[in-house]
Structure 1
């Protein structure tokens, strides 16, 4: 390992104490390593980034999502260090950075490939210009502040599936199954599976449920042309007003997100502590007293 990048969420780095401490820990393990620091993904998608062996995402899950969208095309493995609130995607808590860095340089990790999701659309009168967006968690179509519920017509692999009158439609990856999709009633899917989940949001159809699809599936969502307040969101971070189109095409992206998984980390342990027991805690149960944990 010769070149290492660090992408930091600057809202978590008051006074730059955290980044300075991390660089010091890295230098103590490998003095001759080249370190490139990025702030809020600025400059991270330049051609020089393709020379990075690993990039450390310093923030929360949102920082990993943002990092993944920028570096997926370069196939750079990402190690997430949690300085945020939930930190489900991150591998390391900030209090254990020194141990994680040591494990990293000792090769005590594996690299998981996670499917990403891509959507494309053309604006009216610009059929030859294709707009593309890529995400790690999900692509969401939803009504804006003005519109009431919208009628979405769904086609899967060229065949008509269903029409939902709803607040929106969530299409998520397996990684995104524990994010917005879960909040809308979708299932938890093991994150390395190659699947897509389509979930209607607050539909008037009582039979509206999530459908789990093969990752090779192609999804087309149509909505009325006279709707001016439909919004497309990618990983809940990038927002695009869809007032000049009435159809989007969604499919699994060619690029994969590579996440570093340290050997001492267990997915099901993280799932229990940060998703399942967190729900119980919100419902008034004390999960620490659970004898199974």
Structure 2
């Protein structure tokens, strides 16, 4: 490790105490390491990330997702440090940062690859492509009526859903918006896409789990306004129907630093079940 980037969410660490602690800890392990700091992804992109051995992300899951968006096509791994709410994607909690950094420099970690999702939407000026780590969401606005969505899988008609929207998530994103809408939790290494209707009028509307080689086409039936498309919750694009959205597996993958003592089921218990017992509202990632 000779070049390390730190992307910090300044709203989570406004006085830079955590940032400064991490920089100090890194240099106490190896004084020769070059550390470059990025605030809220400013200046961070694919070319910049190629100069780095790892990107340490300080924030919550939203900060990790935002970082992933900025370094699309990059092979540089991310190490998430949770200073947000739940931090389901983060490998490190604040009380174990020093130990985690020692493991990082000693090589006591593995690189975990997570599949990503791709959405193609034509806004009238030609098709635009968006990639995400968690999910693609098609959702009616607050002022919009219940919408009807025709869903096709590999060009074969699957079903029509009347409801608030449609979520297509990766296994990584299954613990986010998908879970809030009643979808299943899916083990993150599984190579799937999960399609979940949002608050449908029909009790028979259920999640379907698909091989992620499938191409999902969602057609908005009527010319309603205030229909929005979201990729990883990072931006909301207004879709004026009738329109068609295509969702499929992305060719990109996202690499994460993973330590041996990070057990997925412990994380699941700590981040979801335990928080629920404590009466906290689960916000997803």
Q: TM-score, normalised by structure 2?
A: 0.94
Q: How many angstroms does 1:271 deviate by?
A: 0.6
Higher helix share: 1
Q: Counterpart of 1:16?
A: 16
Contact 1:137–1:235, Cα closer than 8 Å, also in 2: yes
Q: Counterpart of 1:153?
A: 150
Contact 2:46–2:71, Cα closer than 8 Å, also in 1: no
Q: How many angstroms does 1:72 deviate by?
A: 3.5
Q: Counterpart of 1:53?
A: 53
Contact 1:123–1:245, Cα closer than 8 Å, also in 2: no
Q: Counterpart of 2:255?
A: 258
Q: Counterpart of 1:226?
A: 223
Contact 1:123–1:244, Cα closer than 8 Å, also in 2: no
CA–CA distance in 1 between the matches of 2:84 and 2:155?
41
Residues matched between the structures, number: 280
Q: Counterpart of 1:290?
A: none
Q: Is 2:175 the counterpart of 1:178?
A: yes
Contact 1:10–1:39, Cα closer than 8 Å, also in 2: yes
Q: How many angstroms does 1:161 deviate by?
A: 0.5
CA–CA distance in 1 between the matches of 2:47 and 2:176?
31
Consecutive unaligned residues of structure 2, counting only runs of 5 or more, are: 281-285
Determine helix, strand or coil for the equivalent of 1:24.
helix
Contact 1:122–1:245, Cα closer than 8 Å, also in 2: no
CA–CA distance in 2 between the matches of 1:236 and 1:131?
17
Determine helix, strand or coil for the equivalent of 1:51.
coil
Across the aligned residues of Structure 1 and Structure 2, the Cα RMSD in angstroms comes to 1.4
Contact 1:156–1:218, Cα closer than 8 Å, also in 2: yes
Relative distance call for 1:224 and 1:93 in structure 2 (3 A) is: same
CA–CA distance in 2 between the matches of 1:164 and 1:115?
27
CA–CA distance in 1 between the matches of 2:48 and 2:68?
16
Contact 2:152–2:216, Cα closer than 8 Å, also in 1: yes
**Which stretch of the first structure deviates more once superposed, 205-214 or 224-233?**
224-233
Q: How many angstroms does 1:46 deviate by?
A: 5.0
CA–CA distance in 1 between the matches of 2:105 and 2:84?
24
Consecutive unaligned residues of structure 1, counting only runs of 5 or more, are: 284-293
